[in-house]
A and B are shown apart, each in its own frame.
Chain A
Amino acid sequence: MTHPLTLTLKIKQDPETLAALEALKENFAEQIQPKIDEALRASKLVHFARVAVIGDNDYIQVITEYDGDHFEYTEFFRRALTPIFAKIFSLADGVPDVQDPTAFFEFSKNANYRTLGLSADGANDMNGNQAGWLFSAYDHAEVRDILGALQAEAAE
């Protein structure tokens, strides 16, 4: 089952934070993007991922579509991307210690915004309610299913 993550953080507007944001933007392609790419590729859980700053440096978003249970893999991503999350979370108020699994779990959960609409595949949100809508062109096939099919096709 595929779930959406729409992690949205309000960026602090003090000069230090805005300078850190500019540094993040500048270094993203060369320093941050490869690390996220490596971790997500190894996970075989994440379909798509992107990081965006919206408004006039008002919010930063981490948006993904991922497989598996909401509560199962948070700790993996914390471990795999600790420095990256530390950088992104430091832009917002109420920053958790990313070394602390419970603090990280709670912060991530609370910063995730439910999508509009209703899931059509039986998915629940993190509160156990019917999840918001997530369109899937391939009936919520998992990353591993898709990779397996592609590999099989390539082998033919």
Chain B
Amino acid sequence: MLPDPDNVQSLIIARYRHRYRVVLLFQISDPVAAQGFLRKWVPDVNGGLQPPSSYQAGLDGAAGTPDPVYHFAFSWRGISKLLKARRSETQGLNPDAVANHLESFFTKEENAPHSRSVAASLDMKDVNAPENWWAEDTDPAGFHIALFCYFGDEAQKKQGLENIRREATESGLREWQFPSFEDKALSGKVPPGGILHFGFRDGVSKVEIDWEDADKPGKVNFRELLLGYPSDQYPLSPAEPGPWREFVRDGTYVNLAWLYQDVATFNRFLRENRGAAEPHSGAEDPEEWLAAKMMGRWRNGSALALHPEGKPASNDTSNKFGYQNDANGETTPLFSHIRVCNPRDQGLTSVNEARFPNGPPRLVRRGFSYGPPLQGEEDDGRDRGLVGVFACSRINEQFYTVVRWIQKTSFSDQFDSIKNGRKRQDMMFGFRKKHNAETTTHIPVTPEGSVPLKLPLADFIRYRGLAVFLAPSLKSLRYLAGD
């Protein structure tokens, strides 16, 4: 059985042209009224690979301002309320008896991202602790509905948010607001040239889905993303056929991450270590070289693996590369961000090879930059960073695993060849006070045999919030809306 892309919300399988993006989070008080709200918006939700105003749709709609686009995802509590409102238990969907049909990292409050158990597992401590997430008085257990909005311009965003908020209020939905954002919601826009706060071009890494289940080289099994099609290699819940499997089929888990970026500290790090980088940076600016080594890509998005000597004059967005000829990370360091988050063909430990027989876990990433840009090394006290949306079919096995790998690089035997290699972290992103962590860079330099660059790392990125939702198929979305 193959998935039907037209039944999948386009949010995760296409890319929109809209510059303005907002995520609204609502709490349901009256589920029947909430269904009324959903019925107004759900008919316009896009499914399929080429929705209007997407890059995949080609030039149609590329001129002019694109129409707004909306997508929905729900927490387990939100789904439970909506299912009960439509008496779904008569169709075999009793939320109070969901048992093990869905992953407990989705259904159980004790395994929610803000729970003590998961926070400990992911090393969400100190500056990253759930107590410091979201905003004062926010109760993430009340995030029932996540509404992902795409707008073409400021005026459209203003009007769109006004409309949604008015109808939400009339439907008894409470909106969780975040005062550090001008829109009082997680919101941002695609920056000019797609350049994010640390100066890197966004949107280069792409996941191409193998919709035909043909094991095509370079493509990713659709089961990395979509629920409802378990196999031996992807033992997805629900394991048993039945109404729960039908309900989640063509849906995906959406992990929402609010990530603060400390631009001043990152810029200071680059400047302070300019001298250390200079003997190795060749014709490149030493700070650019150091930033590229930490990311695994030049700031224009071109992969170090394809352009080891320097960034090409025009950016190269090719993703056709691996690390088999770079086992020790001389070109793309083992602890660079893109190599930790997706080690590609780098061998994993035998345990991880068994867990991931089709290769390292993959995430489909969407999201946007927020906050004003900052130049220099003086922090202005303004909030800025990324709102990341990471879609996958297994929360613990995929998303949380990658979060753990960022915090502790023990997933590959290759790390055994380096001192404290299994106690290191992603050079861009890690909680540096983690117990026993080795928090310095490890950047091999030439000539071979030279001592790798060892520079003290800081917390350049911090968690400000993490929440898990299910973006249902269009069919199940309509069901939740009461249709």
New A-B contacts (16) at CB < 8 Å, excluding given A44-B351, A142-B422? A42-B351, A44-B349, A44-B350, A69-B121, A71-B396, A71-B400, A73-B355, A76-B351, A79-B355, A100-B237, A100-B240, A102-B100, A105-B104, A121-B435, A124-B121, A127-B110
- B284 contacts the other chain (CB 8 A): no
- B235 contacts the other chain (CB 8 A): yes
- A115 contacts the other chain (CB 8 A): no
- A34 contacts the other chain (CB 8 A): no
B351 contacts A45, C-beta separation under 8 Å: yes
Find residues 83-103 in chain B having any chain A CB closer than 8 Å to their own CB: 99-103
Chain B, residue nearest A68 (CB)? B410
Give the distance in Å from the alpha carbon of A100 to the alpha carbon of B242 in the complex: 14
Chain A residues, CB < 8 A from B355: 73, 75-76, 79
CB within 8 A of A128: which of B120, B349, B397, B436? B120
- A61 contacts the other chain (CB 8 A): no
Q: A76-B351, A101-B237, A148-B416 are in contact. Are A106 and B121 (CB under 8 A)?
A: no
Give the distance in Å from the alpha carbon of A101 to the alpha carbon of B355 in the complex: 12
A102 contacts B103, C-beta separation under 8 Å: yes
CB within 8 A of B117: which of A1, A42, A122, A128? A128
Q: Mark A103-131, 1 if CB is under 8 A from B, else 0.
A: 10110000000000000011010111100
Give the distance in Å from the alpha carbon of A148 to the alpha carbon of B422 in the complex: 12
- A134 contacts the other chain (CB 8 A): no
Chain B, residue nearest A45 (CB)? B351
A70 contacts B435, C-beta separation under 8 Å: no
Chain A residues, CB < 8 A from B110: 127
Chain A residues, CB < 8 A from B404: 69, 72
- B119 contacts the other chain (CB 8 A): yes
Closest chain A CB from B245 CB (angstroms): 12
A102 contacts B102, C-beta separation under 8 Å: yes
Chain B residues, CB < 8 A from A76: 351-352, 354-355
Give the distance in Å from the alpha carbon of A129 to the alpha carbon of B99 in the complex: 24
A72 contacts B401, C-beta separation under 8 Å: yes
- B45 contacts the other chain (CB 8 A): no
- B118 contacts the other chain (CB 8 A): yes
Give the distance in Å from the alpha carbon of A80 to the alpha carbon of B401 in the complex: 19
Closest chain A CB from B400 CB (angstroms): 7
- A99 contacts the other chain (CB 8 A): yes
Chain A residues, CB < 8 A from B102: 102
- A96 contacts the other chain (CB 8 A): yes
Q: Mark B387-416, 1 if CB is under 8 A from A, else 0.
A: 000000000110011001000001000001
- B65 contacts the other chain (CB 8 A): no
Give the distance in Å from the alpha carbon of A71 to the alpha carbon of B349 in the complex: 17
Chain A residues, CB < 8 A from B100: 96, 100, 102-103, 106
Chain B, residue nearest A103 (CB)? B100
Chain B, residue nearest A42 (CB)? B350
- A144 contacts the other chain (CB 8 A): yes
For this complex, 29 residue pairs linking A to B, each with C-beta atoms less than 8 Å apart, are: A42-B350, A42-B351, A43-B351, A44-B349, A44-B350, A44-B351, A70-B117, A72-B121, A72-B404, A73-B351, A79-B355, A96-B100, A99-B235, A100-B235, A101-B235, A102-B100, A102-B102, A102-B104, A102-B239, A105-B396, A122-B435, A127-B117, A128-B115, A128-B116, A128-B119, A128-B120, A128-B121, A144-B410, A144-B416
Give the distance in Å from the alpha carbon of A73 to the alpha carbon of B350 in the complex: 12
Find residues 127-156 in chain A having any chain B CB closer than 8 Å to their own CB: 127-129, 142, 144, 148
Chain B residues, CB < 8 A from A1: 435-436
- A97 contacts the other chain (CB 8 A): yes
Chain B residues, CB < 8 A from A75: 235, 355, 396-397
Closest chain A CB from B470 CB (angstroms): 14
B121 contacts A43, C-beta separation under 8 Å: no
Chain B, residue nearest A78 (CB)? B235
Chain A residues, CB < 8 A from B99: 103
Closest chain B CB from A150 CB (angstroms): 13
Chain B residues, CB < 8 A from A69: 121, 404
B121 contacts A70, C-beta separation under 8 Å: yes
Nearest 4 CB-CB pairings of A with B: A128-B116, A100-B239, A128-B120, A124-B120
Which among B120, B404, B410, B435 has the highest number of chain A CB atoms within 10 Å? B120
Closest chain B CB from A124 CB (angstroms): 4
Give the distance in Å from the alpha carbon of A102 to the alpha carbon of B422 in the complex: 28
Q: Mark B209-252, 1 if CB is under 8 A from A, else 0.
A: 00000000000000000000000000101011000000000000
Closest chain A CB from B83 CB (angstroms): 19
Give the distance in Å from the alpha carbon of A73 to the alpha carbon of B404 in the complex: 12
Give the distance in Å from the alpha carbon of A80 to the alpha carbon of B355 in the complex: 9
Chain B residues, CB < 8 A from A148: 416
B435 contacts A80, C-beta separation under 8 Å: no
Chain A residues, CB < 8 A from B240: 97, 100
Q: A45-B351, A73-B351, A76-B354 are in contact. Are A103 and B116 (CB under 8 A)?
A: no
Give the distance in Å from the alpha carbon of A72 to the alpha carbon of B115 in the complex: 16
